A and B are shown apart, each in its own frame.
Chain A
Amino acid sequence: MNYQTVIGLEVHLQLKTKTKAFCGCAIDFGKAPNSGTCPVCLGFPGTLPVYNKEALNSAIKVALAFNCQIQEHTKFDRKNYFYPDLPKNYQISQFDLPLSRNGHLIIFDQEHQPKRIGITRIHLEEDAGKLIHEADSSLVDFNRTGIPLLEIVSEPDLNSPQEAFDYLSSLKSILEYLDVSDCDMEKGSLRCDANISLRPQGAKELGVKTELKNMNSFKGVKDALTFEVKRQTELLQAGQNWQQETRLWDVQKGITVSMRSKEGAKDYRYFPDPDLAVFIINTPMISKIKAGLPELPQEKMRRFMRDYSLSEPDAKILVSSKNDARFAEDCINRYPGKDKKNIVNWLIGPLLSEANSRKLELHELDLDKNELINLIGFVQRQEISLLSAKTILTRMIDSRKSAQTLITEGNLLQISDTAQLEQVIAAVIRENEKSVADFKAGKTNALMFLVGQVMKKSAGKANPKVVTDLIKRRLV
């Protein structure tokens, strides 16, 4: 029997506002424990929350970027449960009137085919504090308490761990463009729980849901899901039943472990928070925020394809990171030639491999863009070979020297002077009688071989095009 994997993701995102959601405590990571708190975020008796305007703006931006419908009426509710990282023993969240619903984002499969992943809702809430567990006690630090969070809930539209990974990558890319969050899973500014179930191929009803927690990277999410698919498939094949449960990913052991459950969802006793007024988000407000949205990855990709005649895969590579896209576009604009494909090939070819080998992102390369354009000019004027140019690029990034200086230093200028080349060609023809004969007999490969020999003798500096012409002229 074949099974279909059904995955939905719940992402918690910290917004990078200057201050917390409901008080003016500055959000500043790496502070000493309990040094970024005040009576409000400590939940001291008598204190009251007032929501952060910037957090609401950021949240609306995110909702619009994910094509959600912003709800006209939205409000905060209290989610009641006891836990020591929750100073009020309720979390201010949203229940029946979330900020936004019915969004989607597009992911691309291996064949570059788009797939639409539904977003059920995006709602506002506040973060909890941090617990450190010791042998007989737990220690609480409330610095993180009250940082504005968004919960982004996807539909169960993801059908493989890879799709979950692609969804998260796409989500992160969009969020990066919006500049509303650090999106760093390792630092906890983006957290992801997954719901996964398996069902027989073609079945309508969903299988028993398992909630996965404790993943600390996108790869962790993919690995945990991959493990679960295998585990659940084996259980199904063995004809076993199981209950809905929460499992924790153990990254060291590479397995998921069942976790005893806390208060069930039905015990949260949600009700409208009487301390916070409702929000009415009208069309002018939405239009204003919409007008201020930056160009998002998909739009930028389409524009790159249109304006610079790029292929979809090339454009996709360049827009996946906001800063890389900016870097690339800056290079493209500086490039004087008409065919932008020339510079783009440099970007996704030599430059990207330079970046990869240095474990950097494209935009982090320490490179004078004008010198890059100069370097490409040398190649196009056939003054240096492509091979030399790649070497120069490496040295350029290492030394910050100009293209001209590096060409001179390396004595890499191509020899196009016929008189100089004729001597070398004469020697090669003399030494390779068989190939000459082959060429005359019509074997084109022989010509390539002869040109290669000339290149070798000139230490790579001979202009291959000129050499080819000269050999042909001699032998035909």
Chain B
Amino acid sequence: MELNQLTAHELLDKLARKEVALEALYGALYGRIQKTESKVRAYVRSEAARKTVSSSPGPLNGLPVTIKDNICTEGLETECCSKILKGFRPPYDATVIAKLKKSGAGIFPLKANMDEFAFGSSTENSFFGPTANPWDLGAVPGGSSGGSAAAVASDEAIWALGSDTGGSIRQPASFCGVVGLKPTYGRVSRFGLIAFASSLDQIGPITKDVEDAAILTKVISGYDPNDSTSVNLDVPDYTQSLVNDVKGLKIGLPKEYLVEGMDPEVKSIIEEAVNKLKSLGAVSKPVSLPHTEYAVPVYYIVATAEASSNLARFDGVQYGYRAKSDNLIEMYKKTRAEGFGEEAKRRILLGTFALSHGYYDAYYLRALKVRTLIKQDFDRVFNDFDCIVAPVSPTAAFKIGERSDDPLKMYLSDIYTISVNLAGIPAISVPCGFTKKGLPVGLQIMAKAFNEEMLFRVAHTFEQNTQWHKLKPKL
């Protein structure tokens, strides 16, 4: 096995025992990138210097982490895969980057591709062009953290950070056959994550197995005085949760999730996974999340409203792209017309509309109220259940270009992931099978707020009793 194919925890052991030199690991990664990146296109600006990154002493021993292009890295271009942020080099590190560096990690010099500003579920909306799914180069890797997931799945990365506003970690993890966690809102600092929707965004890990996810989550979590929405709670040692035991755990199966519109193949894979958990001693029962059907509309109001305001700052004044014009208002309008892609414009307009005079009550305020109902659905279930198990997406990875002309259809495919963000709870995607065409399918596990430990326990147990995470795409 090549070094780049190992998991992070395997490499950490080898690095600690000095069985592996960091240069050799970087060499293996760059070698792999040399070989497969032209097919996968997981990274952007890949002309950047391919060198071994120096790191501070710490438990991660220099192990490199791949970073999504919307997380600020000091001095290293961070463009959200948008023309409008062209050439932007942040003068500061995101809190998660500072935490990684402090723990001795290396920040991989190539950054991962994504849908522009995280607007999308396919990584097709990148200014740099789409990333391919390592399992089927004609299919999307999912999105928006498609670059991070594809890099990890193709062994072009050891592990990676993504961000999840409505499924942007879990869905690409599912499509690429890797592990992806969206932590509880407030668990990980958002400082330095270029905001899409501030009340929904969370940074999380995309890894080869659950143990790696537990290690990386521990490193990036915790209170940050620079983020008013980060929570001052102790971070448990998540590796303690990696037990092979789900006996007696009560698992809820939302009946609103396993319905029409779902690919029957995916449905049966999920059912088998649930059976697996039952065979390991878990108890499952149908539960109801009655407001599920409203989650997509609520999400596309709340997320776009916040985005319309968050993205107002991209105006060509202080950084990024500026269109030529001799008067200010025209400069603004041309810069934003030329700098933003189609999906970004669509969402900015939708969000502006939802907040605009005369429509605020009917759209934005109403959506905030329905958000309350959606959260209450989960609160009720978690009174009686340890976790909820569900699909990540109604289908496996779809073909590049297949849905790009139908934004509404694309939005509807987020149905299983966005409620989690609206409710602020944590959820993980873990590989649970393959379609006949050989595309991976992920199992989603959700728990109540700040109970990531439950996710690691259930996901790890499932993983230890299956082989899906060990399969590698042929590239």
Chain A–chain B contact at Cβ < 8 A? yes
Question: Using a CB–CB distance below 8 Å, which chain A residues touch chain B?
Answer: 39, 42-51, 78, 80, 82, 84, 87-90, 136, 138, 140, 266-267, 269-271, 274-277
Inter-chain contact A46/B225, CB cutoff 8 Å: no
| Min C-beta distance of A102 to chain B, whole Å | 25
| Min C-beta distance of B235 to chain A, whole Å | 20
Inter-chain contact B328/A80, CB cutoff 8 Å: no
| Min C-beta distance of A423 to chain B, whole Å | 87
Q: Which residues of chain A come closer than 8 Å to B305, judged between CB atoms?
A: 271
Complex CA–CA separation, A140 to B197 (angstroms)? 28
- What does the 1/0 interface line of B302-340 toward A look like (CB < 8 Å)? 000110110011110111000000101100100000000
Complex CA–CA separation, A43 to B312 (angstroms)? 10
- CB<8 Å pairs between A and B, sample of 21: A39-B92, A42-B318, A44-B92, A45-B195, A45-B313, A46-B70, A47-B92, A48-B227, A49-B228, A80-B312, A84-B315, A84-B328, A87-B317, A89-B312, A136-B326, A140-B317, A267-B357, A271-B309, A274-B199, A274-B306, A275-B228
Q: Which residues of chain A come closer than 8 Å to B25, judged between CB atoms?
A: none
User: Which residue of chain B has its CB nearest to the CB of A268?
Assistant: B357
Q: Which residues of chain B come closer than 8 Å to A48, judged between CB atoms?
A: 190-191, 226-229
Inter-chain contact A138/B309, CB cutoff 8 Å: no
Q: Which residues of chain B come closer than 8 Å to A87, judged between CB atoms?
A: 313, 317-318
Q: What number of A-B contacts does a CB cutoff of 8 Å give?
A: 102
Most chain B CB atoms below 10 A, which of A48, A49, A78, A138 = A48
Q: 12 other contacts beyond A45-B72, A46-B71, A46-B194, with CB at 8 A cut-off?
A: A43-B318, A45-B195, A45-B313, A45-B319, A46-B70, A46-B195, A48-B228, A269-B356, A269-B360, A271-B355, A277-B228, A277-B229
User: Which residue of chain B has its CB nearest to the CB of A43?
Assistant: B313
With A46-B90, A46-B193: A90-B228 Cβ-Cβ less than 8 Å: no
Complex CA–CA separation, A88 to B305 (angstroms)? 15
Most chain B CB atoms below 10 A, which of A47, A84, A140 = A47
Inter-chain contact B357/A88, CB cutoff 8 Å: no
Complex CA–CA separation, A44 to B226 (angstroms)? 14
User: Which residue of chain A has its CB nearest to the CB of B312?
Assistant: A89
Question: Using a CB–CB distance below 8 Å, which chain B residues touch chain A?
Answer: 70-72, 78, 80, 85, 88, 90-92, 94, 190-195, 197-199, 225-229, 305-306, 308-309, 312-315, 317-319, 326, 328-329, 332, 352, 355-357, 360, 364
Q: Which residues of chain B come closer than 8 Å to A140, judged between CB atoms?
A: 317
Most chain B CB atoms below 10 A, which of A42, A46, A266, A277 = A46
Inter-chain contact A45/B88, CB cutoff 8 Å: yes
Complex CA–CA separation, A270 to B326 (angstroms)? 30
Q: Which residues of chain A come closer than 8 Å to B193, judged between CB atoms?
A: 46
| Min C-beta distance of A126 to chain B, whole Å | 14
Q: Which residues of chain A come closer than 8 Å to B90, judged between CB atoms?
A: 39, 44-46
Complex CA–CA separation, A51 to B225 (angstroms)? 11
| Min C-beta distance of A205 to chain B, whole Å | 24
Inter-chain contact A267/B319, CB cutoff 8 Å: no
Complex CA–CA separation, A80 to B225 (angstroms)? 26
User: Which residue of chain A has its CB nearest to the CB of B359?
Assistant: A269
User: Which residue of chain A has its CB nearest to the CB of B72?
Assistant: A46
